[in-house]
C-alpha cells in the first residue's frame, strides 16, 4: 500500500507542478482517508473486518471510476462537437472573405464607372436647374419691369404696394437660387439697392412724423407698417443672410431722434442777448412737442416704439448737449448765467414744463441725468459769483464816487424828515447787496451762500475804500481849511452812514444761510475802523479849532480871568451843536469823545509846566480856577445833553486837590492815589 502511494506520488509529480489545486485536493483527501482509517482500525478487534472494508472500498472505487469514465467520455464528445463546429465556422469565414474580396473588386470597377458618368450627372443637374428656371421664365422676364414699378411706387410714397412688389421679387430670387444653388443672377443684383432705397424712403417719411401726423397720418402709418413687416422678417431669420437683418425699426427710431434734434438743437447757438428769448421759446415749444407726440404721433406707431418716452428722452439728451455747447462757445454774462441756471434747475423740471400734470407718465425724465451736471452747476455758480463781484465792485465804486463828489459841494448835507444828515449812499450800497443776495434764492442755497459771503467781502472792501476817501478828504481840508466848505457836516453825515450800515448788515443774511466767522469778523473790523476814522477826523477838527485857545493855558491871564475858558466853551458848544444831526447813539458817543478830548487837552496844557505857582496863594488860585473850569465844562456838556456819568471832568476836581495840599510830605501819597484813581493820566 505504501508502494502504491509512492508510485502515485511519482506519477502525480508532473501533474502537481501543472495543477497546484489538484495537489492540494489530493493532500486533503489523503489526510481525510488516513484520519478515517486510523479511527476505524484503532482497535485490534476491528482488524478482522479489514477484508470487508477493503471489498466495500473496492466496489466504491469501481463505481467512482465508472462515473469518472462516463463523465470524461461525455466531455470528450462535447469537445469533438465543438471542434467540428469550429471547423465549419472557419470554412464560412473563408467563404465570407472571398465574397468580400469579390465585392471590393466589383466596387472598384463601379467607382471607375461612376467617375466616367460624372459629366452625365452634371448635365442632368444643369438640366434640372434649367427646367426649374424655364418654369419661372415669365416671372424672370418681368423682373426689370417690376423693379422699375417698385421705384416708381417708392417715389410716389406708395410704400405698402412697393414693399409687396419687393417681397415678390425677393421670393422669386429665392426660388431661382434654391434649385440652382449658385451665385445670384445678374437679373436680381438691383434688389439690394432697391430695398435700401425703400428703407431710406421709409426712414425719411418717419423722420417727418411731426408734420405728417397732422397732414397725412396714413402715409406715416404705411411707412411704419413696412418697417414692422421687415422687423418681423428679421426676427424669423434662423441665421444671418446677405443684406439682413435690415433693422428698419431702428432706422425709423433714429430718424425720429435726428428730426427732433435738428428741429430744436441744430440751429446756431443764440447770442448772449438772445439767450433769455431762446429759453423762453423752448419753455413753450417742448411741452407742446410732447403733447403732439402723445396725441398724434403715438397712435400712428406700435406701442413698442414708446413714442412719448422716446420724444422726452431725445429732447432731454439733445437739450443737455445743446446747453453744453452753449456753455463751451459763449462767454455768458451774469444775467445770462442766472437765466440759464434758473431755467435748467427750476423751470425745466417744474410744473410748467417736464413736470406738467397733463404730461404722460412716459415723459418722466427723473431717471435721466440732469440738464446741467453738478460740476457744470458749480462752475456756473463760481463764474456768476466772480462776474457779479466785478459788477458789484463797479457799482459800489460809482456810489462812492458820487458820495465823494457831494462832499465837495458848497451846501450842507441833505437832511431827512427827522432832522438828521442823510445821503443815499447807505441805502444804495445795501440795496445793491441785498437785491443780488435775495434774487439768488430762486436758484439754490449754495449760490445764495456764495453771493452772501462775496457781498460781505465787497462791503468790507467798500468800507476800506470809504476810509481812504475820508483820508483824502481830510488831507485836502488840511491843505486848505476853507475847503471843503462843509467839512465837519459831511463827516457827521458819514457817521450816520456808519449807523445805517452797521444796523443793516445783519439784514443781509438770508434765512438758513450761516455767516462764516472770518467774514463776519472782517466786516465788524471794517465797520469799527470806519467809525474810529470818522470820530478821529471830527475830534481832530474840534481840537484844531481849540488849539489857539489852549496855547495860552495855563497862564497868568488864565489865573485871573475865566474869559479864556468861556471862549473854549463857546467854541465847543458851537462845534457840538452839529451833533444834533447825528443819530443816537452816535451823537452821545461823539459828545463823550469830545468832552474827553477837551479835558485831555486841558490836562495836557497843565502838564506842560508853562505856569509855575510861586507860593501857596497862587496854588490856591490855580486850584480855584481848575474847580471853576471843571464845573463850567460839566455844565456845558450837561447842556449838550451828555450825562454827568459819561463825563471825565472829575479828573480836574481830583487834580485841583493836589494843588490845595499844604503839607509837601503828603504830596507823594496824594499823587499815587490820583494815579491809581485815574490810571490813564500820565505826565
Q: What is the pLDDT of residues 445-485, one digit of tens each?
A: 999 999 999 999 999 999 999 999 999 999 988 888 777 88
Cell of 397: 465804486
Mean pLDDT across 609-619: 74
- At 384, the pLDDT band (50, 70, 90 cuts) reads very high
Task: Please state, in angstroms and rounded to a whole number, the distance separating the CA atoms of residues 95 and 674.
Answer: 157
**How much is the CA Rg of the chain, to the nearest whole Å?**
63
Q: In which element (H, E) is residue 24 found?
A: helix 20-40
Task: Name the DSSP class of 421.
Answer: E
Distances (CA, A) of 538 to 316, 415, 461, 491: 64, 19, 23, 7
DSSP string, 140-154: HHTHHHHHHHHHHHH
For the cut 50, the answer to whether the pLDDT of residue 535 exceeds it is yes
- At 9, the pLDDT band (50, 70, 90 cuts) reads very low
Q: How far apart are the first and last CA of the chain?
A: 166
For the cut 70, the answer to whether the pLDDT of residue 602 exceeds it is yes
Reported as a single tens digit per residue, the pLDDT across 470-527 is 999 999 888 887 778 889 999 999 999 999 999 888 888 888 776 666 778 889 999 9
pLDDT at 609: 66
Report how far Cα 76 is from the mean position of its chain's Cα atoms.
Answer: 102
For the cut 90, the answer to whether the pLDDT of residue 381 exceeds it is yes
Beta-bridged to residue 415, according to DSSP, are: 421
pLDDT at 132: 57
For the cut 90, the answer to whether the pLDDT of residue 673 exceeds it is no
Pairing of strands 414-415, 421-422: antiparallel
Report how far Cα 658 is from the mean position of its chain's Cα atoms.
Answer: 79
Angle (CA) 241-245-251 rounded to 5° is 155
Beta-bridged to residue 422, according to DSSP, are: 414
Task: Please state, in angstroms and rounded to a whole number, the distance separating the CA atoms of residues 541 and 539.
Answer: 5
Reported as a single tens digit per residue, the pLDDT across 28-56 is 888 887 887 777 766 666 666 777 777 88
DSSP string, 492-520: HHHHHHHHHHHHHGGGGSPTT-PPPHHHH
Task: Please state, in angstroms and rounded to a whole number, the distance separating the CA atoms of residues 70 and 76.
Answer: 10
Report how far Cα 319 is from the mean position of its chain's Cα atoms.
Answer: 17
Beta carbons of 264 and 246 less than 8 angstroms apart: no
Beta carbons of 177 and 184 less than 8 angstroms apart: yes
Percent of the chain with pLDDT over 90: 27
Task: Please state, in angstroms and rounded to a whole number, the distance separating the CA atoms of residues 279 and 344.
Answer: 9
- At 23, the pLDDT band (50, 70, 90 cuts) reads confident
Task: Please state, in angstroms and rounded to a whole number, the distance separating the CA atoms of residues 654 and 459.
Answer: 46
DSSP string, 228-251: HHHHHHHHT-SS--TT----HHHH
Cell of 391: 459788477
Task: Please state, in angstroms and rounded to a whole number, the distance separating the CA atoms of residues 196 and 186.
Answer: 18
- At 1, the pLDDT band (50, 70, 90 cuts) reads very low
- At 19, the pLDDT band (50, 70, 90 cuts) reads low
Amino acid at each position: 500500500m505504501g508502494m502504491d502511494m509512492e508510485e502515485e506520488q511519482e506519477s502525480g509529480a508532473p501533474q502537481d507542478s501543472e495543477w497546484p489545486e489538484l495537489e492540494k485536493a489530493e493532500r486533503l483527501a489523503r489526510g481525510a482517508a488516513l484520519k478515517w482509517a486510523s479511527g476505524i482500525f484503532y482497535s485490534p478487534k476491528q482488524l478482522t473486518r479489514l477484508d470487508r472494508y477493503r471489498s466495500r472500498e473496492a466496489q466504491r472505487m469501481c463505481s467512482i471510476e465508472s462515473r469518472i469514465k462516463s463523465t470524461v467520455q461525455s466531455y470528450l464528445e462535447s469537445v469533438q462537437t465543438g471542434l467540428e463546429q469550429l471547423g465549419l465556422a472557419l470554412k464560412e469565414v473563408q467563404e465570407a472573405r472571398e465574397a468580400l474580396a469579390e465585392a471590393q473588386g466589383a466596387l472598384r470597377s463601379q467607382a471607375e464607372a461612376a467617375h466616367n458618368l460624372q459629366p452625365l450627372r452634371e448635365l442632368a443637374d444643369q438640366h434640372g436647374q434649367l427646367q426649374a428656371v424655364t418654369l419661372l421664365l415669365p416671372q424672370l422676364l418681368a423682373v426689370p419691369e417690376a423693379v422699375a414699378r417698385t421705384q416708381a411706387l417708392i417715389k410716389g410714397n406708395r410704400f405698402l404696394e412697393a414693399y409687396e412688389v419687393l417681397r415678390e421679387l425677393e421670393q422669386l430670387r429665392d426660388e431661382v437660387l434654391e434649385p440652382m444653388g449658385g451665385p445670384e443672377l445678374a437679373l436680381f443684383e438691383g434688389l439690394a439697392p432697391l430695398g435700401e432705397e425703400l428703407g431710406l424712403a421709409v426712414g425719411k417719411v418717419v423722420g417727418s412724423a411731426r408734420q405728417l401726423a397732422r397732414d397725412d397720418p396714413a402715409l406715416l402709418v404705411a411707412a411704419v407698417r413696412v418697417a414692422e413687416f421687415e422687423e418681423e422678417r428679421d426676427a424669423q431669420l434662423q441665421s444671418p443672410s446677405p443684406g439682413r437683418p435690415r433693422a428698419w425699426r431702428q432706422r425709423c427710431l433714429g430718424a425720429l431722434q435726428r428730426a427732433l434734434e435738428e428741429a430744436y438743437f441744430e440751429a446756431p447757438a443764440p447770442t448772449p442777448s438772445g439767450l433769455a428769448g431762446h429759453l423762453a421759446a423752448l419753455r413753450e415749444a417742448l411741452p407742446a412737442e410732447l403733447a403732439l407726440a402723445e396725441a398724434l404721433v403715438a397712435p400712428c406707431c406700435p406701442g413698442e416704439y414708446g413714442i412719448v418716452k422716446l420724444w422726452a428722452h431725445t429732447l432731454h439728451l439733445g437739450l443737455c448737449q445743446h446747453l453744453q455747447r452753449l456753455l463751451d462757445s459763449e462767454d455768458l454774462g451774469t444775467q445770462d448765467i442766472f437765466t440759464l441756471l434758473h431755467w435748467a434747475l427750476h423751470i425745466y423740471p417744474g410744473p410748467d414744463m417736464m413736470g406738467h400734470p397733463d404730461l404722460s407718465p412716459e415723459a418722466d425724465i427723473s431717471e435721466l441725468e440732469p440738464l446741467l451736471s453738478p460740476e457744470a452747476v458749480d462752475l456756473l455758480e463760481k463764474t456768476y459769483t466772480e462776474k457779479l463781484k466785478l459788477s458789484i465792485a463797479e457799482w459800489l465804486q460809482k456810489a462812492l464816487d458820487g458820495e465823494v463828489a457831494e462832499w465837495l459841494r458848497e451846501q450842507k448835507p441833505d437832511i431827512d424828515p427827522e432832522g438828521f444828515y442823510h445821503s443815499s449812499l447807505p441805502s444804495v450800497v445795501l440795496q445793491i447787496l441785498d437785491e443780488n443776495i435775495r434774487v439768488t434764492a430762486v436758484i439754490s442755497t449754495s449760490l445764495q451762500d456764495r453771493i452772501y459771503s462775496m457781498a460781505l467781502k465787497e462791503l468790507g472792501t467798500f468800507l476800506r475804500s470809504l476810509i481812504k476817501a475820508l483820508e483824502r478828504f481830510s488831507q485836502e481840508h488840511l491843505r486848505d481849511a476853507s475847503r471843503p466848505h462843509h467839512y465837519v457836516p459831511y463827516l457827521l453825515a458819514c457817521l450816520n452812514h456808519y449807523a445805517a450800515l452797521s444796523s443793516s448788515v445783519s439784514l443781509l443774511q438770508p434765512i438758513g444761510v450761516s455767516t462764516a466767522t472770518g467774514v463776519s469778523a472782517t466786516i465788524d473790523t471794517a465797520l469799527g475802523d470806519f467809525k474810529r476814522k470818522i470820530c478821529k477826523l471830527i475830534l481832530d477838527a474840534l481840537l484844531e479849532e481849540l488849539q489857539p485857545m489852549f496855547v495860552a493855558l495855563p497862564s497868568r491871564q488864565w489865573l485871573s480871568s475865566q474869559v479864556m475858558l468861556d471862549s473854549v466853551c463857546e467854541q465847543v458848544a458851537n462845534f457840538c451843536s452839529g451833533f444834533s444831526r447825528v443819530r443816537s447813539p452816535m451823537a452821545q458817543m461823539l459828545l463823550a469823545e469830545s468832552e474827553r478830548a477837551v479835558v485831555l487837552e486841558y490836562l495836557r496844557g497843565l502838564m506842560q509846566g508853562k505856569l509855575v505857582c510861586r507860593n501857596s496863594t497862587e496854588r490856591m488860585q490855580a486850584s480855584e480856577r481848575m474847580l471853576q473850569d471843571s464845573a463850567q465844562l460839566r455844565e456845558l456838556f450837561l447842556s449838550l445833553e451828555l450825562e454827568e456819568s459819561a463825563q471825565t471832568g472829575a479828573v480836574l476836581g481830583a487834580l485841583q486837590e493836589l494843588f490845595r495840599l499844604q503839607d509837601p510830605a503828603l504830596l507823594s501819597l496824594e499823587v499815587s492815589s490820583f494815579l491809581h484813581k485815574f490810571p490813564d493820566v500820565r505826565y
